[in-house]
Amino acid sequence: MKIITAIASIFLLIFSWCWVDLKVGHKRYLKHATNIKYPPRNSNITVFTSGKILFDDYMKEVKQAQDSIHILFYIVKNDKFSKDFLKLLQSKAEEGVEVRLLADWVGSKKMPRQIIQELTKSGVHFSFSFKPKLPFLFYTIQKRNHRKITVIDGKIGYLGGFNIGKEYINQGEKLNPWRDYHLKMTGEGVKDLQEVFLSDWFYDTNEDYRGTPAYFPTLTPGTQAQQFVVTNGSDLEQSLTHIIRQATKKIIIGTPYFIPSETLFQELREALARNVSVTIIVPEISDHALVKEASFPYFRVLIKEGAEIMQFQRGFYHSKVILIDDIMCDIGTANFDKRSCFLNSEINCIVFDRTFIEDVEKELAVDLAESKPLNGDAISNMNLVRSAKESLAAILSPFL
């Protein structure tokens, strides 16, 4: 009995320390972090849903860079595709192009030290983002830079859900094929992407290039209205609440992880109550433990109240897209979960252009055609194992 009490006491002590570390660390970080909703811009935007097509275009633009390449990814892996990508950056740096690569410390932990040394030796400026540090060790381990941003010569920008690794070009052993949404942009919005990258670079390296004229060339306005929402562990919930409230006909959400905050969950229920159609597309297979169990309690309620939950069948569904009627869509890096709302650094692009929205609707129609509806009864039949998994998932949901 004494042993059990001692173990319980140690567990309680560790849990209390983690909780205090997380809360105080988050509060301290938010004092210095900036959440930005940029003014509406006019840009030219292309949406990619195939990693192979995206990266064919992406690598071509990187090869043609003349002055600067600024890249931020959550994940850079240690496979052939990743090594080829890094070798391209090395060759551009050796040509005299300024190359900066920022990679999240947790997401890109598989990058070997030798490769990083080769990058820096060739002239690539490299840094990890959000390295764990004291005094808030647990918080900084949980804090992730989940943004994926590329800016080439200050004129061409990319952002979205794809990372660097073979699975993103459909060469993975398990999660294959990979379905995601990524944007390419020219026009006014590229200036905002450059500002976000340089702000992140400054935070992680203390090297301040914000406002450097060479990185902000004159940009010709595009024809498609868009607006960036940049969040750092707060304000994303508020932004998503705002766009959900605009819906009068339909809401379509594509997300790999559906673990909403209580506020967002209630907003969807209220949308259903005012006769708005709500469709949520999620993967049938999962890439992380307990994420499906964490979503089931929400799905049971939403299905009962009229929502349609669709499970994507053809590979892994990693999209981060929200369509509101035919008036706006939101595509970016944020998942529809608590981690993106309250921990991660994210960037989303809200697009108001009707032609672009029609293109996204066509892609979502493909997603829906490749999906099957989730039967509420199938997740309502509880047993001891499922109940235990859901209980554990509920406790861990802020970190999944």
Catalytic residues: 146, 148, 153, 318, 320, 325
Phi, psi of 324 (to 5 degrees): -115, 110
Q: Assess contact for 325 and 291: CB atoms under 8 A.
A: no
Helix (H) and strand (E) counts for the chain? 12, 20
Cα separations in angstroms, 39 against 42, 95, 212: 10, 36, 21
Coil vs helix vs strand at 24: helix
| Cα-to-chain-centroid distance, residue 215 | 25
What is the distance between the terminal CA atoms of the chain, rounded to a whole angstrom?
A: 33
Q: Which two tokens stand for residue 204?
A: 């992680």
Question: Cα(342)–Cα(346) distance, rounded to whole angstroms?
Answer: 10
Tokens 């006014």 belong to 188
Cα 44 from Cα 356, distance rounded (Å): 10
In 10 A of CB 398, how many CB atoms?
16
Please report how many Cα atoms fall inside a 13 Å half-sphere around the Cα of residue 90, on the Cβ side: 14
Report how far residue 282's alpha carbon sits from residue 370's, in angstroms, rounded to the nearest whole number.
11
